[in-house]
Amino acid sequence: MKLFCDLHIHSCLSPCGDALMTPNNIVGMAFIKQLDAIAVCDHNTARNLPAIKEVADMMGVVLLPGLEVTTREEAHMLAYFRTVEQALAFSDAIYPHLPAIPNNPKFFGEQQLMNAQDEVIGTQERLLISALDLSFEACAALIGEYGGLCVPAHINRGSNGCLNALGFLPSGIAYDALEVSKTVPQPQMDLSGYRILHSSDAHYLEHILEPEFTIEAGEKSVEALFSAIAGKS
Ligand SMILES: [Zn+2]
Ligand SMILES: [Zn+2]
């Protein structure tokens, strides 16, 4: 079956994510738009996923647990996991690799941790949009170690897409998919060997995708979606 997906959305835990990107608002918007599945991928953290998962389960929206890591070269890379627990374990593993630079909420925005009632239950001290002290290759390897899927983010967009940040797509890494941005010129390279994902990278509610991008999966479940992206369905 075809699942309507938006697999790159930020919550209010990302400093650049709008304050309205709460668990209930994100999942509610996905539900209204009749999306089958979403992935919330905050910068370098999975800590809002438990609340989002709780809400997603209640509303019947599949949540693919994810993060968007910033490599040492300032390239963005998505990591998708089968379970929130795996995503949290990975999140804990990379936190020590974030520079101990505190967030300045006035400048970068709040980093709000929420519960499933959209109540603020804490913040993250370290600025989450900093680059990890891990190379592109090291990040890819660590994602694999934790059982995740490695998907370079918006490879053709902005200074944080790997085609700009690195100048090329490193070979020798088993990417599960590539995220290509539709809003900018398409990459001038042969992408035929790759699974391509198109997502919103929404930092505001109104930017969450309409039902326009689908993934063929065995059923509407996180396991089936994960397998489909991993190419093992
Ligand atoms: Zn990004
Ligand atoms: Zn993003």
Q: What is the pLDDT of residues 37-62, one digit of tens each?
A: 999 999 999 999 999 999 999 999 99
30 CB-near residues (< 8 Å, 6+ apart):
6, 38, 59, 61, 208
Residue 118 belongs to a domain with what CATH number? 3.20.20.140
Structural domains in the chain (count): 1
Mean pLDDT for the stretch of residues 181-209: 95
Number of residues in the chain: 233
| Residue 12 pLDDT level (bands cut at 50, 70, 90) | very high
**CA-based nearest residue to 45, from 13, 91, 4, 107:** 91
Q: How many whole angstroms from 77 Cα to the centroid of ligand 1?
A: 7
Domain hosting 172: range is: 2-230
- Taking the complete model, does pTM exceed 0.95, yes or no? yes
Q: How many whole angstroms from 10 Cα to the centroid of ligand 1?
A: 10
Give the H or E element holding residue 41.
strand 37-43
Mean pLDDT for the stretch of residues 135-141: 98
Q: How many whole angstroms from 40 Cα to the centroid of ligand 1?
A: 12
| Residue 128 pLDDT level (bands cut at 50, 70, 90) | very high
**CA-based nearest residue to 199, from 219, 169, 220, 229:** 229
Tens of pLDDT, residue by residue over 163-185, are 999 999 999 999 999 999 999 99
Q: How many whole angstroms from 8 Cα to the centroid of ligand 2?
A: 6
The whole-number pLDDT of residue 187 equals 94
Ligand lying closest to the C-alpha of residue 8: 2
- Are 91 and 69 in contact by the 8 Å Cβ rule? The answer is no
Q: What region does 81 belong to: left with phi over 0, alpha with psi -120 to 50, or beta?
A: beta
| Residue 96 pLDDT level (bands cut at 50, 70, 90) | very high
Report DSSP state, residue 205: G
